[in-house]
Amino acid sequence: MPLFYCKNYCINLKYINMKKVCEYIKQNNLLEKGDRIILGVSGGADSVCLLYIMNELKSEYALNITAVHINHMIRETADRDEIYSKDLCEKLGIKFVSYKTDCPAVSERDGISLEEAGRNERYRLFNETGEKEYGKDKYKIAVAHHMDDLAETLIFNMARGTGINGLSGVKCKSGNIIRPFLCVSRAEIEEYLNIKEIKFMTDETNLSDDYARNKIRHKIIPTMNEITEKAVNHMASCAGQLGEIEDYLKIQTDSLWEKYVKEEKNAEAGNTEILLLESLLGEHPALIKRVIHRALTFVAGRARDISAVQIEAVLNLFDLQTGRKRDLIYNMEALRVYEGVRIMIKKEVSDEDKKDALSKLHFEIKDRDFSQNIPTDLYTKWFDYDKIKYSLDVRFRKEGDYLTVNDANAKKLLSDYMTNEKIPSDKRDEIPLLADKDHILWVVGHRISNYYKVTDETKKIVVATYNI
């Protein structure tokens, strides 16, 4: 029976290739003395093998292991797998915790695939158990992803559209998650179990081609292995190289983020907006797009479905005039501003809020008292009543609105005035106006139309007040 050594501890394995796992753990510093481990155990070959290997390493690393089994409530045979996993852990003297979670219901509730719902629930429960057993940030989650999983992820992400990060696949260490098996193939895992005569359960859903990953596993990977028997190894190596490139690009993106991005709190909306400075355009296109992707992910709170289309929409705004907008995914919008492009969550102004804003604007008509000076208060204005052609209206802006801006009463469209005054595009529809049909007397908080100014000849006035 072959033996190999991990540091000073002799591990008895019948299949010598599993030595790679121990070396891989050391090379990537996946385990440290006294680690507390949440180990996902489904009862399938991969997780059962990981359970045995981690149990072998328990003494050397002084590991404290808790095995967690998740019943996704999808298969009728799921109870069988739970019983087997529990019995196996009892046999090895490893603490066992199990959960049932209705993944089909989660999938329907969140509008995501069954696969994604299962993954989300697993990690939620892994972390919940880790915090309960060991405390927050005091544990690692060990999962049994292997080289074939890495190849499948690369193909899957490439097929649905991805960047370098997606092509680099899963990492051996990601936050508190460790993947000690990324150095071995599914065949090596199953051969290890067969030689050691270790039983494992088979998930029938893995045999069906109803799931995208199963189609890759059953059809694409075997075909690629016909082209070259080391196809999986080559894809894993490629993913590793791309991962190194991704790490380098992340460092560069971090640097550009500090230089060209402003995170601005929106106290009213209770969130953070991102301002991309126009000087960002002087950098390499690949890095510009990465910064934009990060900005969209930051504002949205998620990276899923933020595609090249969304990135191009933001990038194209830099070529447009101030005030132009683009609607984006997840109720985001990008706005061209003077400094660059602002990315934010759309502000929804309710009809009630609009009504409240208009109700604060009051006016009355009275004879002029020449003993009183014309007010200079920002929110109290006088107008020459006799110059009003139609009737006064309190409202928000409409297309065609204008005001006069000099003594010659030159007309300027309200939209152009707001642009020239750098009034934020997202605020323009919320500014109350006092209007004489499409001629605006007063843009509240800003200016009045020159045409309605009170002169020495004015006898009757409109006194307008906005109660802030």
32-83 pLDDT, tens digit per residue, is 999 999 999 999 999 999 999 999 999 999 999 999 999 998 888 888 999 9
Work out the average pLDDT over 207-228: 84
- Per residue in 355-375, pLDDT (tens digit) is 787 888 889 999 998 889 998
pLDDT at 17: 60
pLDDT at 104 over 70: yes
Tens of pLDDT, residue by residue over 258-276, are 999 999 887 666 678 999 9
In this predicted structure, what is the pLDDT of residue 9? 38
Q: 2 pLDDT band (50/70/90 cuts)? A: very low
Task: Give the largest Cα separation in the chain, rounded.
Answer: 112
Looking at residues 125-141, what average pLDDT do you find?
96
**pLDDT at residue 320 is higher than 70:** yes
**For all residues of the chain together, what is the average pLDDT?**
89
Closest CA to 115 of 219, 216, 214, 235: 214
Question: Span 247-257, mean pLDDT?
Answer: 96
Mean pLDDT to the nearest integer, 138-158: 93
Residue 436 has pLDDT above 50, yes or no: yes
> Position 235: which residue type?
M
pLDDT at 143: 97
pLDDT of amino acid 31: 96
Q: Is the domain 3-243 a CATH 3.40.50.620 member?
A: yes
Q: CATH 3.30.465: does it fit domain 267-345?
A: yes
352 CB-near residues (< 8 Å, 6+ apart): none
377 pLDDT tier (thresholds 50, 70, 90): confident
Phi/psi at 243 (nearest 5 deg)? -65, -40
Residue 232 has pLDDT above 60, yes or no: yes
The predicted-structure confidence for 398-412, as pLDDT tens digits, reads as follows 989 999 988 888 999
Residues of the chain with CATH 3.30.465: 267-345
- Of 236, 211, 215, 237, nearest in space to 146 by CA: 236
Report the percent of the chain where pLDDT is more than 90. Answer: 60
Residue intervals in the chain for CATH 3.40.50.620: 3-243
Highest mean pLDDT among 128-137, 258-267, 322-331, 417-426: 128-137
Mean of the pLDDT values across residues 174-193?
A: 92
Least Cα distance to 389 among 441, 433, 442, 432 occurs for 441
- The distance from CA 31 to its chain's CA centroid, rounded to whole angstroms, is 29
Region 228-240: what's the mean pLDDT?
90
